Amino acid sequence: MLISAAGPGSVPVASPTGAAPTDFVPAPQAGDYPIPANPVVAVCGATGAVGRVMLETLERLDFPASRVRALASARSAGTTIPYTGPGAPDSGQLTVEEMTPDSFQGVNIALFSAGAAITKQFAADVNAAGAVIIDNSSAYRMDPEVPLVVPEVNPADAHRHNGIIANPNCSTIQMVVALAPLVKLAPIRRVVVSTYQAASGAGQAAMDELYNQTGDFLAGRSFTPQAFAHQIAFNCIPQIDVFLPDGQTKEEWKMVVETKKILHNPDIQVNATCVRVPVLRSHSESVNVEFDAHAGKYVLSLSDVRAALASAPGVVVIDDPEHLDYPMPAFTAGRDEVFVGRIRTDPTVENGYQMWVVADQLLKGAALNAVQIAQLLLP
Amino acid sequence: MLISAAGPGSVPVASPTGAAPTDFVPAPQAGDYPIPANPVVAVCGATGAVGRVMLETLERLDFPASRVRALASARSAGTTIPYTGPGAPDSGQLTVEEMTPDSFQGVNIALFSAGAAITKQFAADVNAAGAVIIDNSSAYRMDPEVPLVVPEVNPADAHRHNGIIANPNCSTIQMVVALAPLVKLAPIRRVVVSTYQAASGAGQAAMDELYNQTGDFLAGRSFTPQAFAHQIAFNCIPQIDVFLPDGQTKEEWKMVVETKKILHNPDIQVNATCVRVPVLRSHSESVNVEFDAHAGKYVLSLSDVRAALASAPGVVVIDDPEHLDYPMPAFTAGRDEVFVGRIRTDPTVENGYQMWVVADQLLKGAALNAVQIAQLLLP
C-alpha cells in the first residue's frame, strides 16, 4: 500500500536534530503510512507480559484509538481481556483474535510483542495492509532502515521509518534515558554498566517461575528451572540471552550497539555485564560514565550532572543519602519514569561519574516506550 | 605480657614479599605472641552467623587446637554448640561462656566476630592475656600498625603484627583473591566493581529476615524491615553500611582502601558500587579491570588473564559459555574457593578485562579467611 507523501495525515519529516548523521539514521522517507487522529491499534502478542501492559498503558494514557484489537496465537484466541479505554468495545472486554496474515486490514498501528520470529513472519502483511509496526522484539533494531526510538531521546527518528519502528531492549532504554541529558553536557567517552535485571524481562512465564520457585525453595520442595537456565530463586544468573563468540551475551551486545544507534554516536564505548536477579519487574543498573576530558575542554562538576538529570524528561532523581533514599526496583514497579540515584563523582578517572538507574522493565523498558512511540506518530 | 622474640614458638618474621613497602605495611615486630603447635582458640561472638561458621571451619579443617572455647554475650551464655574437632570437649558440645575481660587467660588465638565495638572493648584484655586477635570487624583494618591479611595474597603480612590481625571486609576479600594473580601480570591502574551482596553479610538476623520476609511477601502478609533499611525480598538495595560525606557508602570505601592496603599499592584506583540483593550467603561481583598500558610496555592477552586466574591459589575458574557454566551464588554457598567466570576482553579501553567473581561470604568472605590466618600463625 503506497500513499502519497502529500496525502492527508502524512507524517511530517522531522527537522534535523543537530546530531551529525551516522550510518544508523535512516534517510527520511515519504509518509507512506499516514496515521489518523483516531487510529485503529492492534496489540500483537496481547496475552504476554508486555502485551498486557501495552493494553493497560493505552487505556491509562487515554490513547485516542478509534478501535483497539488484541491479537495472539491460536492458543489464546477467544479469551477476553478487560479494556475500557478509547476504542474499547461496549462490553469493556477485548476478545483475543488469532493473528493471521489477514488480521491487519484497517489497522493503522500494530504494537508487536510476540518475539522476533513472529514479527518477521507477519511484517510484510502488516505493512501491506498499511499499518506501521512498532516492534518490541530484537528483529529489526539494528536494521539501518529501521529507526530505534526512545521518545525522550531521539523522537525525530520515529518519523523516518519505512513501516517499522523498533523499540529498544529494556536495559538499553533506561540507560539511554539517563545518558541523554549527560551527552548534552559533554561527549561521553565510555560507559561501564552492570545490570540487575528482573524476571519480567524474560516474560510472564519467567515471572511466574521466580514466584513459584521461591515458594518451592522456602517449602523445601524440589523444582526444575524451565524459563531460566538455572535456579533464579535466591540466585544471580550472569547470563541474559545467548552467548556470542567473543564471550559477551547478546543482551550485553544489545546495550553496546543500541546505545550507539539511539544516541547517534558510533564512538561512544559501552562495556556491559548483564545479570538476572530475583526481582519481579524493575531493572536496576550500576552505570559508570567517563566524559571525554579533551585536555580540559570539558570540565564538569557533580552539580552539572545532577542538574542535567533532574531536569531531564522522563527522569526522576531520588538521591537523598541522609534519609536512605535512592531508587529501588521493588518500589518502581508500576511507575513510568526512569529513576536515578547514588549520583556521585568517580574520582578514579578524569570526568568520571557513577549513578544507579532503575525503571519498570514492563513499562518504560517495553510497553510504555512502545505506546509513547505510537503517540509520536499521531498527527 | 612480653615474651622474648627468641623464645620457643616465636613467630618468624616473614621474608620480604618483593612488593615495595608502603605506609600500610607495619614494621616487623618481635614475636611477642608465640603460638604453640596446639593453641587454645577462643571464638568470640560464637553464636552469630560468622562465629558459627568459624567453629564449623575449625572442625572441618582439623585445626590443631588443644582446646576450643565459644564466647558470646551473657544472653547466649550456657547454650551449647556441637563441636567435635581437635580440642573438643568429650561431650562434643561447647558450652557458650559469657565473654568478660577475664575470659582470655590461657588463650593463644582469639577469633573475633562480634562487631567493631566489642573488639575494641576487649582488645587490650585479650592481648594482655597473651592472645593474638584475628578480628573480622572493621575496628582495626585501616590501622597502619595492624596487618590486613588474605592468606592467598599477602600471607607474610600476618607475621608483622602487634597482637591484632584484621580480616578484610567480605566484598574486598573475594575481589583481591581474583586481582592478586592479575597484578603479577602487569600493574592494574583502575578497577570498577559493582557488587551483588548476600544477606549473610549483615548477619544471621538479616538472613532470617530475607527468608521470612520472602515468605510473608508470597503469602501477602505485611512485614516490617528491621535488619535492612528497606524491603529486601525481591528487591535490590543500593546501600551497604552508612553513607560517607562524599556520597560513597562505607562498604564502597572499604573496598577502595582495603584493596590498596592488601595489595601494597596505594596507586591502584578502585570505584565500587555495593548493592544488597535477595541472595542468602554468597556475594557476586562484576569486576572491570584496566591494566596500566604504559605505552605498550604491558601487552596482555585474554589467554594470559585466564591462565593467571586458573593457576591462582584459592581461585576456581568456571567459564564455559557453551554449556552455560559460570559461577552463581546459589551454588557456591558452602564452598571455600573464590569462583571466577565470564572472563572476557573489555574492548572499550586499552588492556581492559571483565570478570564475574563469586564467593561464600560466610566462608572466604569471613570465617574461612580468619581460620586461614590462624593457620599462618601456627609454628
Which residues from B are below 8 Å from A192, CB to CB?
192, 288, 346, 348
Chain A residues in contact with B248 by the CB 8 A cut-off are 344
For B364-378, give one letter per residue: b (16+ CB within 10 A) or e.
bbbbbbbbbbbebbb
Q: Going from the N-terminus, what domains does chain B have, and what CATH number goes with each?
A: 40-167+366-377 (3.40.50.720), 173-361 (3.30.360.10)
Which of B193, B194, B290, B319 to substitute to test the interface with A, most A CBs within 10 Å? B194
Query: What percent of chain B is predicted at pLDDT more than 90?
Result: 89
Average pLDDT value for residue range B206-228: 98
On whether the CB atoms of residues A229 and A240 are closer than 8 A, the answer is no
For A190, the closest chain B residue by CA position comes to: B348
Above 80 in pLDDT, residue B11? no
pLDDT computed for residue A237 by the predictor: 98
For residue B24, pLDDT over 80 is answered with no
> Is pLDDT above 50 for B64?
yes
Residue A257 confidence (pLDDT) above 60: yes
Mean pLDDT of A123-143: 97
Q: Per-residue confidence at A207, pLDDT binned at 50, 70, 90?
A: very high
Please state the separation of Cα B129 from the chain's center in Å. 25
Q: Report the residue of chain B nearest A247, measured CA to CA.
A: B344
Nearest chain A residue to B210 by CA: give it.
Answer: A234
Q: At what angle do helices B250-262 and B170-183 cross, to 10 degrees?
A: 40
Binary contact (B288, A271; C-beta < 8 A): yes
- Closest residue on chain B to A353 (Cα): B271
- Write out the three cell numbers for B182: 592479575
In whole angstroms, what is the distance from residue A184 CA to residue A24 CA? 20
CA distances from B330 to A217, A233, B205 (A): 11, 8, 19
Pick from B192, B248, B345: CB nearest A192: B192
Given this model, what pLDDT does residue B295 score? 58
CA distance B352 to B334: 32
- Looking at CA atoms only, how far is residue B269 from chain A in angstroms? 5
Question: Exposed/middle/buried for B75, CB within 10 Å: 0-12, 13-18, 19+?
Answer: exposed
pLDDT in tens, A342-361: 999 999 999 999 999 999 99
Does B9 have pLDDT greater than 60?
no
Checking if the pLDDT of A4 tops 50, the result is no
How confident is the model at residue A18, as a pLDDT?
33
What CA–CA distance (Å, rounded) separates A345 from B50? 34
3-state secondary structure A345-361: EECCCCCEEEEEEEEEC
Q: Is the pLDDT of residue A250 over 80?
A: yes
pLDDT at residue A306, rounded to an integer:
98
The DSSP secondary structure of A271-329, one letter per residue, reads EEE--B-S-SSEEEEEEEEEE--GGGT----HHHHHHHHHTSTTEEE--BGGGTB---G
Cα separation, B342 vs B319, in Å, equals 6
For residue A254, what is the DSSP state? H
Sign of CA dihedral A330, A331, A333, A339: negative
Q: Between chain A and chain B, how many beta carbons pairs sit less than 8 Å apart? A: 171
From A229's Cα to the closest Cα of chain B, the distance in A is 8
Residue A112, min C-alpha distance to chain B (Å): 29
Mutating which of B235, B243, B361 best tests the A interface, going by the most A Cβ atoms within 10 A? B235
- Is residue A20 pLDDT above 90, yes or no? no
Task: Name the band, by pLDDT with cuts 50, 70 and 90, for residue A295.
Answer: low
Which whole-number Å values give the CA distances from B339 to A81, A135, A209, B135, in the listed order? 47, 39, 26, 24
Contact B218 A211 (CB under 8 A): yes
Looking at the complex, report in whole angstroms how far the Cα of residue A69 sits from the nearest Cα belonging to chain B.
Answer: 34
For residue B13, the distance in angstroms to the closest alpha carbon of chain A comes to: 35
Q: Please give the pLDDT value at position A5.
A: 32
| pLDDT confidence of residue A299 | 80
Integer-rounded Cα radius of gyration of chain B: 21
Closest CB to B196 among A192, A233, A277: A277
Per CB-CB distance under 8 Å, the chain A contacts of B210 are 234
Strand, helix or coil at A106?
A: coil
pLDDT at B26: 52
Contact B326 A238 (CB under 8 A): yes
**Rounded to an integer, what distance in angstroms lies between the CA atom of residue B348 and that of residue A189?**
9
Tell whether the model's pLDDT for residue A17 goes beyond 60.
no
Interchain proximity A230–B328, CB inside 8 Å: yes
- Range in A79-88, A308-317, B209-218, B288-297 the model is least confident about: B288-297
Q: Write out chain B residues lying below 8 Å of A348, CB-based.
A: 190-192, 269-271
Q: Which residue of B has its CA nearest to A232?
A: B330
Smallest CA–CA distance, residue A377 to chain B, in Å, is 36
Report whether A271 contacts A193 (CB < 8 A): yes
Q: Is A309 exposed, middle or buried (0-12, 13-18, 19+ CB in 10 A)?
A: buried
Optimal mutation site among B191, B271, B358, interface A, most CBs of chain A within 10 A = B271
Which of A9-23, B20-34, B123-137 has maximum average pLDDT? B123-137
How far apart are alpha carbons A119 and A140 in whole angstroms?
9
Residue B348's Cβ-count burial label (10 Å; 0-12, 13-18, 19+) is: buried
Mean pLDDT of chain A: 92
pLDDT of residue A7: 31
Q: Give residue A293's pLDDT.
A: 74
Say which of A191, A269, A275 has its CB closest to residue B196: A275
B269:A348 CB<8 A: yes
Across the interface, of A233, A275, A279, the residue whose CB is closest to B235 is: A279
Question: Chain A residue with minimal CA distance to B333?
Answer: A235
Residue A261 has pLDDT above 70, yes or no: yes
What pLDDT sits at residue A298?
Answer: 75
Query: What are A236-248's pLDDT values in tens digits?
Result: 999 999 999 999 9
Beta carbons of B284 and A270 less than 8 Å apart: no
Closest-CA distance, A14 to chain B, in angstroms, reads 33
The pLDDT value recorded for residue A19 is 36
**Amino acid symbol at A207:** M
Mean pLDDT along residues B162-166: 97
Please provide the distance, in angstroms rounded to a whole number, between the alpha carbons at the two ends of chain B. Answer: 19
Which residues of B are annotated as catalytic?
170, 283
Instruction: Specify the higher pLDDT residue, A300 or B4.
Output: A300
Most A CBs within 10 Å, among B309, B348, B351, to test the A interface? B348
Catalytic residue among A44, A159, A170, A274: A170
Nearest by CB to B239, from A229, A326, A330: name it: A326
* Model pLDDT, residue A10: 30
Residue A277: list chain B partners with CB under 8 A: 196, 236, 277-278
A163: region left, alpha or beta (phi > 0 left; psi from -120 to 50 alpha): left
Q: Do B196 and A192 touch (CB under 8 A)?
A: no
HEC string of chain B equals CCCCCCCCCCCCCCCCCCCCCCCCCCCCCCCCCCCCCCCEEEEECCCCHHHHHHHHHHHHCCCCCCEEEEEECHHHCCCEEECCCCCCCCCCEEECEECCCCCCCCCCEEEECCCHHHHHHHHHHHHHCCCEEEECCCCCCCCCCCCECCCCCCHHHHHCCCCEEECCCHHHHHHHHHHHHHHCCCCEEEEEEEEEECHHHHCHHHHHHHHHHHHHHHHCCCCCCCCCCCCCCCCCECCCCCECCCCCEHHHHHHHHHHHHHCCCCCCEEEEECCECCCCCEEEEEEEEEECCHHHCCCCCHHHHHHHHHCCCCEEECCEHHHCECCCHHHCCCCCCEEEEEEEEECCCCCEEEEEEEEECCHHHHHHHHHHHHHHHCC
The pLDDT of residue B13 is above 60: no
Choose among B235, B329, B344: nearest Cβ to A247: B344
Question: Quick one: cell of A320?
Answer: 537523598
Which run of H or of E encompasses A123?
helix A116-128
Best residue in B207, B221, B236, B319 for a mutation probing chain A (most A CBs within 10 Å): B236
When comparing pLDDT for A8 and B135, which is higher?
A: B135
Among A277, A321, A330, beta carbon nearest to B247: A321
- Output the pLDDT for position B209: 98
Which position has the grid cell 538521591?
A319
**Between B169 and A18, where is the model more confident?**
B169
B263 neighbors B173 (Cβ within 8 angstroms): no
Residue A321 Cα, gap to closest chain B Cα (Å)? 6
Mean pLDDT estimate for chain B: 92
- Chain B residues with CB under 8 Å of A231 CB are 328, 330-331
Q: Which residues of B touch A215 (CB under 8 A)?
A: 218
Beta strands B338-346 and B315-317 are: parallel
Q: Which grid cell is B353?
A: 578485562
Q: Which of A159, A161, A264, A283 is catalytic?
A: A283
